[in-house]
A and B are shown apart, each in its own frame.
Chain A
Amino acid sequence: MAGTKLKIKKVKVGLGTCGIAAGASQVYQELESLGKKEGFEVGKVGCLGLCYREPLINIEGSFGRVVLGDISPSELKGAWEDIKNGYFPEEKIIFDGQNYRDNFITRQKRIVLRNVGLIDPEDIEEYLACNGYKGLERVLTWEPEKVLTEVEKSGLRGRGGAGFPTGLKWKLTRAAPGDTKYIICNADEGDPGAFMDRSILEGDPHSVVEGMIIAGYAVGASEGYIYVRAEYPLAVKRIEKALKQAEKKGFLGENILGSKFSFKIKIKEGAGAFVCGEETALIASIEGKRGMPRLRPPFPANRGLWGKPTSINNVETFANIPWIILHGAEEFASIGTEDSKGTKVFALAGRVKKTGLVEVPMGTSLKEIIFDIGGGIKEDKKFKAVQIGGPSGGCLPDKLLETPVEYRALTETGAIMGSGGMIVLDETSCMVDLARYFLTFIQSESCGKCVPCRVGTKRMLEMLNRLTEGELSSEEIPKLEALAHVVRTASLCGLGQTAPNPVLTTLKYFFSEYDMHAKEKRCPAGVCTGLTTFVINEKVCTGCGICVKHCVVKAISGEKKKPHRIDVEKCVKCGLCLINCPFDAIYKV
């Protein structure tokens, strides 16, 4: 390509929430004005998943497609002359027309994310060009039972976390007595650090819509709901658009594609309660009630929304469906392990070099994801743990890095698959503090219905708070553990039953850290401020006085040009002196 003048037809900008946060809107504006001059179109795509290389652009033309990353709006204008002539800046190329240059992408297997980041999510034609709604067309020529068998044969399990077989769930809903049935798409993704569902909805909403329509046909439902959190405004906007376009094309509404099957989808925006991701609380919320889980059985397959049989599945589960129909159950089942078929999308975040969306075949080891795909730990620090499964999940140490990502193997370690959050931690993280963080989250998100979750998690949190302040004795740690077990076995819903996982797994794999906090009153990672002291290294300190200026409590004193001292009694451990010292003379003990 180099040297030949390229015919650029369209340039698409990665405009997911993440891209926008990285400045993609400015890139978009810049390209729009360039496009007017040069005569090419400018479009949008969702997030390709390479968070660390945002903003991203797709350049399309007679030469094919090239993806570039790390685009800054200011550089763009100057670089365009070269690009036009086929000289792409080497270091920015992600996809060169034939191959992906980054093994972050090449090591993945993209089924759910097949279109995400490549097609314009606001244009149904682009989805149709990628075999969109072909699955639905095929399904409508089948008996609903055949769809159920196909999905069951594929071995697909719920991607929301618990891993219930999707085919079986649909079968139970179909078999439940009643004429009115519902399909619900659970898009109330609330785990801190998780953004798989958002990216799918922002990048390829039609795949989810198509999956829902197929589910409706299979179980005999004529209405569906997408329960999406209101904190995802872009996703809501894109689903709204997708629904309108699908309706216009006859994929939604009365007599879909001339068949006797009718189906419509409504959007319900959640009001920001984590517990509404639990299916019975979610249903209560759609019904206009307080989002509180109720006892199961009866399961939603028998008594769900408005008391009618309801199949409730996760975003990622639905996005798998059209692919399974088009490629066949056997092909899907050939991916993954005996226990878990297909792929799983993870949101890789934390202290890893390459952060972003990762879709890998089930059975891939944690090590492969973190080190081969994620490129290892930032600043080449030492790996300490990976927190998998969100606040309900667990922390796994390096000796468990070979664990394959599949439902059974992860559950055996004490963590769970969860919805796919994966947070990497290095030696600078304190595991007690981490457990405390997740428990703080859970405690404020508990619905307050059952005693173990409402009061139990509060008392656990208070114990951890005291531990991080050096006020918990080591004799009390077994009490914390015993309480965690009661909360796990006695809570009413999944939120409470999994809430102690971060504490139990850190106790299991990082007990020495708990012990140090309790016995030696020391935080080995230097995170727990209650147990750390800020000290000035007198040999390095030049007495410049910068720290004195930054100290808000006037805890630092000393003569000019002579080593300074920190008054431990006054210090509030805000860390401002440490950050601002130009000579790195201040350190934590």
Chain B
Amino acid sequence: MKKVKLKINEKVIEAVEGKLLLEVAKENGVRIPHLCYEPRLKPYGSCRLCLVEIKGERKLQPACATPVKNGMEVITDSITLYEIRRTIIDLLLSTHPEDCLTCEACGRCTLQDLAYEYGLRKTSYQGEKPHTPLEDHNPLIFREREKCVLCGRCVRICSEVQGVDAYTFAGRGFQTIIATAFDEPLSLKNCEFCGQCVSTCPTGALVSRLEMGKARSWESKGVMTTCPYCGCGCQIVLKVKDNQVVGVESDYETHNRGNLCAKGRFGWEFVNHPDRLKTPLIKKKGKFVKASWDEALALVAEKLKFTKEKFGSESIAFIASAKCTNEENYLLQKLARVVFGTNNIDHCARL
């Protein structure tokens, strides 16, 4: 990888050629505000918050879409840029409901953070606010278009990462909204309910219904774990409050790049469910009785051994699971073939 030298705010920085200026700046501790930039998505440049001055360029350039070049001289903070950023945030606030107090995204909302940073307690503009009523009673994704900043991250992640294209922009000018085809509920569309849109939304416009009202963002702590649903082993962060799981998210800095499927993102309610099995059960006199793992495994081993001796190896079959890792599945077939001497081994994914 070719390295280039550039100057950001008079400081000489070395970076990989072609990397986006916003990312290079971030790695070097220079914060450039942004809303529509997302590392999982292609450069878009619509929020205009990350505009910077580049020597020799006639116009201001969005750092999120500008690859670094050798000899580049960049200014990321100036009076002009400050004025532009403050105005843009002010304009966005002027379209936004002022209900941070009870908003689900409070404390993790980029717009809220930016307004705080730029000292905008409320908008200085008066005027119409978008009124975009919506009927979408699906059980997983809560959509509130009044809070939308139209960064297009949901539209793009649905298209670029998921290849689903359930969302689109509709309307023009101030009337522009994020819609599905014919503005019908997500459940009537091709939506897979992966919730990737929820994961990328910078405000409270898209929220997981399962998490609503369970915890303020600062109340829960994150517990990193591995998603139990399949062998991909996506890294998830359980949001835990008072020892109860109240939600799931995932970091960009994981092998799954923060991407999750419907099960990983929304399928966590079983964790605290009263019906959940927590120990093995052994049926004694027609009733299931709690047992220890040692007890259960010993019983299974004993029964398998008995079956093999009495009816022969071919009387036993093993079915492996997609929930297990490759290594675990390998070991299971090894157990079948070497220990029990049978080739009767199959996998649920093949059924």
Contact indicator per residue, chain B 69-85, by CB within 8 Å of chain A (1) or not (0): 00000000000100110
- Say whether A451 contacts B92, CB under 8 Å: yes
Q: Are A489 and B127 in contact (CB under 8 A)?
A: no
B43 closest partner in A (C-beta):
A295
Residues of B within 8 A of A454 (CB): 150, 173-174, 176
Binary contact readout B108-137 vs A (1 if CB under 8 angstroms, 0 otherwise): 000000000000000011111000000000
Q: A448-B176, A451-B46 are in contact. Are A490 and B88 (CB under 8 A)?
A: yes
The residues of B that contact A462 with a CB separation of less than 8 Å are 125-128
A416 CB to nearest B CB, Å: 15
Contact partners of A489 in chain B: CB under 8 A: 59-60, 80, 84
A292 CB–B CB distance under 8 Å: yes
- The answer to whether A445 and B172 touch (CB under 8 A), given A451-B46, A486-B83, A486-B84, is yes
Interface residues of B in 147-167 (CB under 8 A from A): 149-150, 152
Q: Is the CB of B127 within 8 A of A490?
A: no
Other-chain residue from B80, B150, B169 in contact with A290 (beta carbon distance below 8 A): B169
Which chain A residues lie closer than 8 Å to B83 at the CB level? Answer: 482, 486
Q: Are B47 and A451 in contact (CB-based, < 8 A)? A: yes
The reply on B48 being an interface residue by CB < 8 A is: yes
Question: Could you tell me the distance between the alpha carbons of A234 and B322 in the complex, rounded to whole angstroms?
Answer: 63
**One of A295, A457, A479 near B62 (C-beta < 8 A):** A295
User: Complex Cα distance A369/B65, Å?
Assistant: 44
Closest to A458 in B: B174
Cβ distance A439 to chain B, nearest Cβ, rounded Å: 11
Q: Shortest beta-carbon distance, B290 to chain A, in Å?
A: 59
Q: How many angstroms between the C-alpha atoms of A455 and B173 in the bound complex?
A: 8
Bound complex: CA A454 to CA B80 (Å) = 20
Using Cβ atoms and an 8 Å threshold, which residues of chain B touch A445? 172-173
Inter-chain contacts of A486 with B (CB < 8 A): 83-84, 87-88
- Does A483 make an interface contact (CB < 8 A)? yes
**Bound: A534/B240 CA distance, A:** 69
B95 CB-CB contact with A under 8 Å: yes
**B174:A455 contact, CB within 8 angstroms:** yes
Majority secondary structure, A binding face: helix
Distance in Å from the Cβ of A483 to the closest Cβ of chain B?
Answer: 7
Q: In the complex, A275 Cα to B247 Cα: how many Å?
A: 42
Is B236 an interface residue when CB atoms closer than 8 A count as contact?
Answer: no
Q: Does A408 contact B (CB under 8 A)?
A: no
Q: A462-B127, A489-B60, A489-B80 are in contact. Are A448 and B48 (CB under 8 A)?
A: no
- B172 near A273 with CB under 8 A, answer yes
Which of B94, B168, B174 has the most chain A CB within a 10 Å cutoff?
B174
With CB as the reference atom, state the residue of chain B lying closest to A496: B48
Proximity string of chain A (279-313) to chain B, C-beta cutoff 8 Å, 1 when within and 0 when not: 00000000000101001000000000000000000
Residues of B within 8 A of A532 (CB): none
Chain B: which residue is nearest A451 at the CB level? B88
Do B94 and A449 touch across chains, with their CB atoms under 8 A apart?
A: no
**Bound complex: CA A454 to CA B45 (Å):** 14
Find chain A residues with CB under 8 A from B176 CB: 447-449, 454
What distance in Å separates the Cβ of B33 from its nearest Cβ neighbour in chain A?
Answer: 12
- Nearest chain A CB to B98 CB, angstrom units: 16
Tell me whether B91 is interfacial, beta carbon within 8 Å.
Answer: yes
Check B48–A490 contact: CB distance below 8 A. yes
Q: Scan B241-269; emit 1 where CB is below 8 A from any A CB, else 0.
A: 00000000000000000000000000000
**Residue in A closest to B45 when the chains form the complex, CB atoms:** A295
> How many angstroms between the C-alpha atoms of A449 and B46 in the bound complex?
6
A300 to chain B, nearest CB (A): 16
**Complex alpha-carbon distance, A459 and B93, angstroms:** 12
Interchain CA distance A489-B52 in the complex, whole Å: 11
Query: Which one of A273, A456, A490, A491 has the greatest number of beta carbons of chain B within 10 Å?
Result: A490
Inter-subunit contact A292/B169 (CB<8 Å): yes
Tell me whether A448 and B88 are in contact in the complex, defined as CB-CB below 8 angstroms, given that A458-B127, A492-B48 are known contacts: no
CA of A456 to CA of B65, assembled, Å: 22
Q: How far is the CB of B158 from chain A (nearest CB, A)?
A: 14
- Encode contact with B along A443-472: 1 for CB under 8 Å, 0 otherwise: 111111111101111110010000000000
A443–B172 CA distance with the chains assembled, in angstroms = 9
Q: Do B173 and A446 have beta carbons less than 8 Å apart?
A: yes
**C-alpha spacing A491/B44, complex, angstroms:** 13
Query: Are the CB atoms of B46 and A492 closer together than 8 Å?
Result: yes
Chain B, interface size category, equals: 35 or more
Instruction: Report whether A447 and B87 are in contact in the complex, using a CB–CB cutoff of 8 Å.
Output: no
Interface string of B40-63 (1 = CB under 8 A from A): 000111111001000000011010
Please give, as numbers and ranges, the residues of chain B lying within 8 Å of A483 by CB-CB distance.
Answer: 87
Q: Complex formed: what's the CA distance from A290 to B167 in Å? A: 13
Chain A residues with Cβ under 8 A from B286's Cβ? none
- With contacts A452-B48, A459-B125 known, is A490 near B173, CB below 8 A? no
Asked if A490 contacts B174 (CB within 8 A), the reply is: no
Say yes or no: is B171 at the interface (Cβ < 8 Å to chain A): yes
Q: Which of A443, A450, A490 contacts B60 (CB 8 A)?
A: A490
Contacts of A447 in B (CB 8 A): 172-173, 176
Contact of A444 among B43, B62, B84, B172 (CB under 8 A): B172
Contact B92 A448 (CB under 8 A): no
Within the complex, the shortest CB–CB distance from A504 to chain B, in Å, comes to 16
- Chain A 506-527 per-residue mask, 1 if CB under 8 angstroms from chain B, else 0: 0000000000000000000000
Q: For residue B128, which residues in chain A have a CB less than 8 angstroms away from its CB?
A: 458, 462
Among A275, A292, A455, A490, contact of B51 (Cβ-Cβ < 8 Å): A490
Contact B87 A448 (CB under 8 A): no
Of B45, B149, B150, the residue contacting A492 (CB under 8 A) is: B45
CB distance from A245 to the nearest CB of B (A): 38
Contact B87 A458 (CB under 8 A): no
Q: Which residues of A contact B124 (CB under 8 A)?
A: 479
A459, B125: Cα distance in complex, Å: 7
How many whole Å from A420's CB to the nearest CB in chain B? 24
State the Cβ distance, B114 to closest chain A Cβ, in Å: 12
In the complex, what residue of chain A is closest to B125 when comparing beta carbons?
A459
Q: How far is the CB of A273 from chain B (nearest CB, A)?
A: 7
- The residue of chain A having its C-beta at the shortest distance from the C-beta of B62 within the complex is A295
Q: Known: A295-B62, A448-B169, A455-B95. Is A491-B48 also a contact (CB below 8 A)?
A: yes
B125 smallest CB distance to A (angstroms): 5
**Residues of chain B contacted by A443 (CB below 8 angstroms):** 173-174
Question: Which of B43, B84, B94, B171 is A455 in contact with, Cβ under 8 Å?
Answer: B94
B residues less than 8 Å from A452 (CB atoms):
48, 87-88, 91
Per the bound structure, the CA–CA distance linking A452 and B174 in Å amounts to 11
Interface 1/0 per residue, A472-489 and B, CB below 8 Å: 000000010011001001
Provide the residues of chain A in CB contact with B51, threshold 8 Å. Answer: 490
Nearest residue in B to A466 (C-beta to C-beta)? B126
Of chain B, the residue at the smallest CB distance from A479 is B124
CB distance from A441 to the nearest CB of B (A): 10
Which of chain A's residues have a CB closer than 8 A to the CB of B88?
Answer: 451-452, 486, 490
Q: Kindly list chain A residues whose C-beta atoms are within 8 Å of the C-beta of B174.
A: 443, 446, 448, 454-455, 458
| Nearest CB of chain A from residue B20's CB, rounded to whole Å | 12
Q: B126 to A444, Cβ gap below 8 A?
A: no
Contact partner, B91, options A275, A290, A456, Cβ 8 Å: A456
- Nearest-neighbour CB distance to chain A for B88, whole angstroms, equals 5
A447 to B80 alpha-carbon distance, docked (Å): 25
State the Cβ distance, A450 to closest chain B Cβ, in Å: 5
Q: How far is the CB of B155 from chain A (nearest CB, A)?
A: 10
In angstroms, Cα B60 to Cα A450, docked, is 14
User: With A446-B173, A489-B84 known to touch, is A295 a contact of B127 (CB < 8 Å)?
Assistant: no
How many Å lie between the Cα of A441 and that of B265 in the bound state? 44
Closest B residue to A453 by CB, please name it. B173
Q: List 8 A-B contacts (CB under 8 A).
A: A273-B172, A446-B174, A449-B46, A450-B48, A458-B174, A490-B88, A491-B48, A492-B46
Sorted from nearest, which 10 A-B pairs have the closest CB atoms?
A448-B176, A455-B91, A462-B127, A446-B173, A458-B174, A486-B87, A295-B45, A490-B48, A459-B125, A490-B84
Given A445-B173, A450-B47, 17 extra CB contacts under 8 A: A292-B169, A295-B43, A295-B65, A446-B172, A447-B173, A448-B172, A448-B175, A449-B150, A449-B169, A450-B45, A450-B46, A451-B91, A451-B150, A454-B150, A455-B95, A462-B125, A490-B88
